[in-house]
A and B are shown apart, each in its own frame.
Chain A
Amino acid sequence: MSDNGHGIGAPVKRVEDFRFLTGRGTYTDDINRPNQTCAFFLRSPHARAQIKSIDAAKAKSAPGVVAVFTGGDMQCGGIPCGWQVTDKNGEPMKEPPHPPLAKDKVSHVGDQVAVVIAESLSAAKDAAELIAVDYEVQTPVVDMEKAIAGGDVVHEEAPGNLCYDWELCTAEGGAKEVDDAIANSAHSVSLRIVNNRLAPNAMEPRAAIGDYDLASGEYTLYTTSQNPHVIRLLMGAFVLGIPEHKLRVVAPDVGGGFGSKIFHYAEEAVVTWASAQIKRPVKWTAERSESFVSDAHGRDHITDVTLALDAEHKFTALKVQTLANMGAYLSTFASCVPTYLYATLLAGVYTTPKICAGVKAVFTNTVPVDAYRGAGRPEATFLLERIVEQAARKLGVDRVELRRKNFIAPDAFPYQTPVALQYDSGDYHSSLEKALAMSDWEGFAARKKESAANGKLRGIGISTYIEACGIAPSAVVGSLGARAGLFEAATVRVHPTGSVTVFTGSHSHGQGHETTFAQIVAEKLGLPMENISIVHGDTAKVPFGMGTYGSRSLAVGGEAISRALNKIAEKARKIAAHLMEADAADVVFANGEFAVKGTDKKKAFAEVSLAAYVPHNFPHKSAHDDGEGLEPGLEEQAFYDPLNFTYPAGCHICEVEVEPETGAVTVAALTTVDDVGRVINPMIVEGQVHGGLAQGVGQALLERAFYDDNGQLLSGSMMDYTLPRAKDMPPLSGLQTATTETLCAHNSLGVKGVGETGTIGSPPAVINAVLDALAERGVTDIQMPATPFRVWSALQEAGK
């Protein structure tokens, strides 16, 4: 509809970047409230201990201290979990209490024991050193396999440290039918896969300010959140008992989330509650070392997988048994990540008819584990693409051909998988073929030879993935145990002079919504970007929305905006018809102008919006509001609940060089072809893919949150936790991203989502490439991260 160069498909520069790149953003820590105090959390140095006593008397009387609170002071609900998973015996999952400040025991290093509130941060820290906590240290539960083998428990409420033992089986005959199918198949391959534990490390650490207004009785929480309404609901209704109209949650500029800022955290509840106790604002900002031991971690699975194939190499059955680490407490999304966001993806892009997945969720004395960019889908994709690769190697068949042979055909959509999901659209062959061509797959042998001449081992690896995003149809997730709906909301307010403010329930923490969403408005209303503002992140401003995660913002939030815009266009058309004394059916709206068909009568969008607010001659509605007449104003709202998930899919290819003497791996090239549905802004799509790939390379080669037997996080700082750096990515000449397009069949924009493709598709491509490089030396398996030490060790082991 739009021809102003700002509409759908235009590579518009991100409007938010000026503010971000010149240090003009307003992050939570930039906010200071009058008479504000500083909070410091005393955290447990032990993974598991009973608290015999806490003596805070000295701290309370230390200079500058306003208050010290411990678990006993804070009478409130526990931090809730948002998903109720029912285990295979029909039992609800175990939900041990999670008090915001520890009561009687601590369950991981970093658990909050007390909060010190003082006039300055250093006064708070000084005082915290004066708190005497008498711990009775106990043997911690760290290793998942030992945890479920009997012995010590993290929580008495969860015998055997089991949160749930859950199963998703295709076959009517359940697990046995899948076992039989595997036994009766011509071939089978098995692997044990460890999906490494990751520490998210958003650039901005978490922060929160609680601000209780004695005059109004209202609370405001400023917080680093991906979903302020969800925090308001969880904290208000479950933890502190504050009704919505008295609780405002503001999530201003947020410097990266990657999932870790979805969840409701204890510190948010503590500062909000404490501000009412001391009747002053209370501010807390995490330090990086605190982030490592208090932000929810990601992934951490141990999986045994078996894939069976028939004599023609068609997949016949897949069996997956997973131990998923929950950490010490159930974080907001924790229970659904290794179930509904994981097992439901185990068909991948393949026609495997029988699938059975068993998932045991395990409590350990470690930081809670929850959704991290990709959430469940990277775990599913990694094991599938590793086992398919392993099958090709074991059977001595071409790995690309094996994939092609088992792909769901382009004409098979809608395709009902055996694991609950129904894919609406896709074309896995076209993304595969495009990626093969772009990566010069055929020319690899020559490049390998060249590397060999330089003493390097070169490998190429591939992954063909699918993911489910745009979460999610409320009815579906409700039946699966979600304790909330997953719709999205938008209000479009057209101002009298024709500029537009959109209030969205989505939240941008780096994704560029202020640009992408504005492009949808530009497209639909024919307005230039300058006339459009996107507002998000404040429950006092935006309608009740569910926030941003699971690549849902465009497919759900964008669609809500689109629907509100349709309502605006419809109403504006009526007003225009009235102004031009025409029948509304004869008025067409294009490029920001209303015209009466077959005449030269025209009204600009701004003339119509002005009339909406200066309705001097609007026909009045009747006393009984019978639908006649024109209502003043031009503001519309839409709540959109999607009909299905969306299914981005694609092909990632990676090429690596390994230095055999040191084990060092260099990523020489990365090629991605993603089908993310309709692309609104190709530049932003490319940026999202680049960022995701860096995190994918990080998981595959670098990152590992590593606990020792005492439950101490050995990689608890940047000195030992390796985040990807620019040098870890391939040179720009070797970094190629492209898209193919099949439209989402159930939203009007045709969009699928791009936020997570990079972290989902790339890790198996990288590891398959490493293994391809090492194959000539006899190495057949390696776990993530494939650090130089691991690669070197694998070579030594194989060389024996």
Chain B
Amino acid sequence: MKTFEYHKPSSLDDAAKLLAQADAVALAGGMTLLPVMKQRLNSPSVVVDLAALEDLRGIRENESKGVVLGAMTTHAEVAGDALVREKLPALAELAAGIGDAQVRNRGTVGGSLANNDPAADYPAALLALNGSVHTNKREIAADDFFAGLFATALEEGEIIRHLHFPIPEKAGYKKFPQPASLYALVGVFAAKTNGGVRVAVTGAGSEGVFRVPELEEALGKDFSPESVPEKLSDGVEEKLLNDIHGSPQYRAALITALLRSP
């Protein structure tokens, strides 16, 4: 790790000012940022710790009865929170399945979404639940947020404050872990929302998380495992990753297998 300036601002404005400097980066749980700094793959000169920003904390209900997560909410907090477990059990389950206990106690939902790792779990939830990202500048709909591998609509220095999740009629998340990392080799989030069925897949896409219209259509008719087709069209396979852990064909098979499993 190279030397850097460390700041821990207590107001959002101060944080934004600090992050406006060249080569500045926000620090949340550090589960992703610190390893890459140690490996010298990223050597920022200013690190702005978001830990003291009260505005980024907490879990509550919003006016439209959706669940709001502060960006600094840890995976463990999401997994154990009574409100989340009651209203969005699939999200609590997803959070409980991230990494290991240490990672869940440090890693945050904001950090995970800002990072947009193609194998991370939260992106699938945000996209399938048609959630939105509230930053210090604006509100970004899930469909507009993800922009390819490790890329998002966030501008330089923009800070995620909250994540809004509307409550679906029904939802579920299934993950088949990549054997070594235990990140998602394929993760599928299916939600029946008032705007229709949305299915988002993480882990498998060569451009990161994506929706699968043919599955949304099939599940839109009947939201049950039985209505999931046995095989996806070739068009889906073309979008999938090929690496030592799985071919596009295998990943495609996992998508349907996960949805079809009871």
Contacts and interface: CB of A to CB of B under 8 A. Distances in A.
Contacts of B176: 662, 664, 788
Interface string A677-718: 000000000000000000000000010101000000011001
A793 B250 contact: yes
A299 to B, nearest CB: 18
Contact of B179 (A289, A661, A788): A788
A126 B247 contact: no
A719 interface: yes
B40 interface: yes
B194 to A, nearest CB: 32
A787 interface: yes
A126 B2 contact: yes
Interface string A459-475: 00000000000000000
B1 A122 contact: yes
A787 B245 contact: yes
Given A706-B244, A792-B250, A719 B180 contact: yes
B254 interface: yes
B261 interface: yes
Nearest to B181: A719
B202 to A, nearest CB: 16
Interface of A is mostly: loop
Nearest to B253: A792
Contact of B254 (A126, A662, A722, A796): A662
A720 B2 contact: no
A722 B179 CA distance: 6
B246 interface: yes
A719 B245 CA distance: 11
A714 B244 contact: yes
A706 B254 CA distance: 23
Contacts of B3: 122
A789 interface: yes
A409 to B, nearest CB: 43
A782 to B, nearest CB: 15
Nearest to B1: A122
B260 interface: yes
B257 interface: yes
Contact of A662 (B40, B180, B245, B257): B257
Instruction: Name the residue in A715, A720, A796 with the highest tally of chain B Cβ atoms < 10 Å from its Cβ.
Output: A720
Contact of A661 (B181, B244, B249, B257): B257
A238 interface: no
A27 interface: no
Instruction: Name the residue in B2, B3, B180, B257 with the highest tally of chain A Cβ atoms < 10 Å from its Cβ.
Output: B180
A125 interface: yes
Contacts of B258: 662
Given A122-B1, A793-B250, A718 B181 contact: yes
Contacts of A706: 244
Contacts of B250: 663, 789, 792-793
Contacts of B40: 125, 129
A613 interface: no
Given A715-B180, A718-B181, A122 B2 contact: yes
Contacts of B2: 122, 126
Nearest to B183: A719
A664 B245 CA distance: 12
Nearest to B100: A725
Contacts of A792: 250, 253
Q: Could you say which interface size class chain A belongs to?
A: 20 to 34
Contacts of B249: 796
Nearest to A663: B250
A69 interface: no
Interface string A710-738: 00001100111111000000000000000
Nearest to A788: B179
A716 to B, nearest CB: 11
Contacts of B179: 702, 722, 787-788
B39 interface: yes
Contacts of A787: 179, 245
Contacts of A126: 2
B261 A661 contact: yes
Contacts of B181: 718-720
Given A661-B253, A661-B260, A661-B261, A722 B180 contact: yes
A796 B254 CA distance: 13
Nearest to A702: B179
Contacts of B254: 662
Contact of B180 (A129, A661, A663, A721): A721
A789 B245 contact: yes
Nearest to A121: B1
Nearest to A704: B244
Contacts of A722: 179-180
A723 B261 CA distance: 27
Interface in A183-228: none
B39 A289 contact: yes
Interface in B72-87: none
B231 to A, nearest CB: 12
Interface in A504-530: none
A201 to B, nearest CB: 12
A793 B248 CA distance: 12
Nearest to B179: A722
Given A122-B1, A122-B2, A661-B253, A720 B180 contact: yes
Instruction: Name the residue in A702, A714, A715, A722 with the highest tally of chain B Cβ atoms < 10 Å from its Cβ.
Output: A722
A607 B254 CA distance: 74
B83 to A, nearest CB: 30
Instruction: Name the residue in A126, A661, A718, A789 with the highest tally of chain B Cβ atoms < 10 Å from its Cβ.
Output: A789
A789 B39 contact: no
B51 to A, nearest CB: 24
Interface in B1-44: 1-3, 39-40
Contacts of A796: 249
B20 to A, nearest CB: 27
Nearest to B246: A789
Interface in A750-800: 787-789, 792-793, 796
A503 B3 CA distance: 46
Contacts of A289: 39
A479 B181 CA distance: 47
Nearest to B261: A661
B260 to A, nearest CB: 7
A288 to B, nearest CB: 10
Contacts of A704: 244
A457 B39 CA distance: 43
22 contacts: A122-B2, A126-B2, A289-B39, A662-B176, A662-B253, A662-B257, A663-B250, A706-B244, A714-B243, A714-B244, A715-B180, A718-B180, A719-B181, A720-B181, A720-B244, A720-B245, A787-B179, A787-B245, A789-B245, A789-B246, A793-B247, A796-B249
Given A661-B257, A719-B180, A722-B179, 5 more contacts: A662-B253, A704-B244, A719-B181, A720-B245, A789-B245
Interface of A: 122, 125-126, 129, 289, 661-664, 702, 704, 706, 714-715, 718-723, 787-789, 792-793, 796
A-B CB proximity, top 9 nearest: A661-B257, A722-B180, A722-B179, A719-B181, A789-B246, A720-B180, A789-B250, A662-B257, A706-B244
